[in-house]
């Protein structure tokens, strides 16, 4: 049936001329972008005051598809770029939208230090357990036992527990969802957009072409069904207990929501104290 | 589909879905997660060789827009349209529920380009 399409509500947030996008059929990244568009609409932020920064990778393409001021940085450097952006123009709401490989492996050091300093940026990490765009190499999030192109006998290294890493580094908002939990994602993203400080949302998403196919886990839809059946929502759970096993149970929820002075505030306070009237900020 | 048909009488709104067929990549999320299960794969192909979804039970659609929230390709969305006035359909559909203008309409009608 050919239905005339009057208007898609997410269209104002997209660069429509770039559609269809490069993401595979069954990939969860587009679903999270949909949620982000709705969170932006709900937050009622003026769109010219929102900037989006991403690194390299499949998720890194988000910056190119959203109709916001955006920057596609070099691999792993999304957070330092976003930090500079926020410090130079504190009016902006700066969102870092990137994948697990970019944020946690190559940009891992930037990630922990931005959390430690409590830079006022919102970090959305799409975790598909693998390096997608570069050909399915093992990542620091690949669960023990899962195979990848560079781990043909299965991964034997302990993966990062991202909410625990974020909390222990100093993040003020930490949540984890899967691509199946769309309403929760949209709500969580809207909360993070309002929050002052380093907010971190991990979203598990299927990579049907590399992770799921290589591990014989079916397609994207099959993975979404798995998320539906094996997820437990435990708000406020201890982030220590959130390790992800290969095809095990997934604990979701909002784990951390605290207040702490941001980098901008502590810096201003210190400089005013020392420099007094010589400090212009 | 008993759950879908019993609610129709009392409803003040009916649901409509709008599909940009050429953007669809046949992942099946909209069909699987539609609460009243009113969508199915079409027999037709789109220009990239995928089967886009088709609304098979118009009365059952509630316009909840969960298909729109799930669609990774921004190819489908649902809308609630008041039942009483058929004239309101077009105007309600032309205005985004998110309160934005309709500047994207023309681009969407043309379908996607690579």
Per domain, the residue ranges of chain B are 2-89
Structure tokens at B112: 């996607």
Residues of chain A with pLDDT under 70: 1-6
Structure tokens at A150: 């560079």
Q: Evaluate if residue B102 carries a pLDDT over 50.
A: no
Averaged confidence pLDDT in chain B: 73
The alpha carbon of residue A53 is apart from the nearest alpha carbon of chain B, in Å, by: 20
CA–CA gap between residue B105 and residue B109 (Å, rounded): 6
**Shortest CA distance to A50 belongs to which of A37, A68, A31?**
A68
Higher local confidence (pLDDT), B14 or A203: A203
When CB atoms are compared, the residue of A5, A29, A224 closest to B20 is A5
Determine whether the interchain pair B74/A27 forms a contact, defined as Cβ–Cβ distance below 8 Å: no
Q: Which residue in the block uniquely carries the two structure tokens 């098979």? A: B56
SS3 A134: coil
Q: Which residues contact A84 (CB under 8 A, 6 or more apart)?
A: none
Q: Which residues contact A117 (CB under 8 A, 6 or more apart)?
A: A170, A198, A263
Q: Are A114 and A53 in contact (CB under 8 A)?
A: no
Determine whether the interchain pair A19/B113 forms a contact, defined as Cβ–Cβ distance below 8 Å: yes
SS3 A13: helix
First to last CA, chain B: 39
Fold topology of A19-278: Rossmann fold (3.40.50)
Which residues does residue A252 pair with via DSSP β-bridges, in sequence order?
Answer: A233
To the nearest 10°, report the CA torsion of B88, B90, B94, B95.
10
Determine whether the interchain pair B102/A182 forms a contact, defined as Cβ–Cβ distance below 8 Å: no
Q: Are B51 and B21 in contact (CB under 8 A)?
A: no
pLDDT on residue A119: 94
Residue A232, classified by CB atoms within 10 Å of its CB into exposed (0-12), middle (13-18) or buried (19+), is exposed
Count Cβ–Cβ pairs < 8 Å, chain A vs chain B.
Answer: 137
When CB atoms are compared, the residue of B69, B97, B98 closest to A35 is B69
**How far is Cα of residue B57 from the mean position of the Cα atoms in its chain?**
12
The alpha carbon of residue B76 is apart from the nearest alpha carbon of chain A, in Å, by: 8
Q: Interhelix angle for A29-43 vs A182-194, to 10°?
A: 50
CA–CA gap between residue B59 and residue A34 (Å, rounded): 26
Which residues does residue A137 pair with via DSSP β-bridges, in sequence order?
Answer: A131
Which H/E stretch holds residue A54? strand A50-54
Which residues does residue A232 pair with via DSSP β-bridges, in sequence order?
Answer: A251
**Shortest CA distance to A63 belongs to which of A73, A76, A75, A49?**
A73
A-chain residues near B27 (CB < 8 A): 25-27, 219-221
pLDDT band at residue B106 under the 50/70/90 scheme: very low
The CATH architecture of the domain made up of B2-89 is: 2-Layer Sandwich (3.30)
pLDDT band at residue B10 under the 50/70/90 scheme: low
Q: How many helices (H) and strands (E) does chain B have?
A: 5, 4
């Amino acid at each position: 049936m050919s239905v005339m399409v009057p208007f898609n509500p997410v269209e104002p947030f997209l660069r429509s001329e770039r559609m269809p996008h490069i993401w595979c059929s069954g990939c969860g990244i587009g679903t999270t972008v949909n949620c982000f568009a709705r969170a932006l609409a709900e937050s009622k932020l003026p769109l010219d005051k929102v900037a989006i920064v991403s690194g390299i990778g499949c998720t890194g393409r988000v910056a190119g598809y959203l109709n916001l001021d955006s920057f596609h940085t070099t691999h792993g450097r999304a957070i330092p770029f976003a930090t500079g952006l926020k410090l130079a123009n504190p009016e902006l709401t700066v969102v870092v939208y990137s994948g697990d490989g970019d944020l946690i492996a190559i940009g891992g050091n930037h990630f922990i230090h931005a959390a430690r300093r409590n830079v006022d940026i919102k970090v959305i990490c799409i975790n598909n357990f693998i390096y997608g765009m570069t050909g399915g190499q093992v990542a620091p999030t690949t669960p023990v036992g899962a195979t990848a192109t560079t781990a043909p006998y299965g991964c034997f290294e302990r993966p990062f527990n991202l909410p625990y890493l974020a909390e222990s580094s100093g993040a003020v908002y930490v949540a984890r969802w899967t691509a199946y939990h769309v309403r929760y994602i949209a709500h969580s993203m809207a909360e993070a957009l309002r929050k002052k400080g380093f907010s971190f949302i991990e979203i598990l998403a299927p990579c049907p072409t590399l992770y799921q196919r290589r591990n014989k886990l079916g397609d994207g839809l099959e993975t979404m069904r798995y998320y539906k059946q094996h997820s437990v929502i435990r708000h406020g759970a201890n982030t220590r207990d959130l390790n992800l096993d290969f095809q095990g149970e997934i604990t979701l929820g909002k784990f951390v929501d605290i207040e702490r002075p941001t980098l901008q505030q502590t810096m201003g306070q210190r400089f005013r104290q020392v420099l007094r009237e010589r400090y212009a900020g | 589909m008993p759950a879908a048909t019993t609610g129709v009488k009392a409803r003040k709104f009916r649901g409509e879905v709008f599909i940009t067929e050429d953007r669809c990549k046949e992942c099946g999320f909209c069909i699987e997660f539609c609460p009243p299960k009113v969508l199915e794969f079409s027999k037709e192909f789109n220009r990239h060789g995928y089967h886009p979804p088709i609304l098979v039970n118009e009365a059952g659609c509630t316009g909840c827009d969960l298909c729109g929230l799930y669609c990774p390709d921004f190819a489908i969305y649902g809308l609630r349209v008041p039942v009483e006035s058929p004239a309101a359909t077009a105007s309600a559909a032309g205005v985004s529920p998110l309160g934005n203008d309709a500047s994207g309409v023309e681009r969407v009608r043309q379908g996607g380009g690579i």
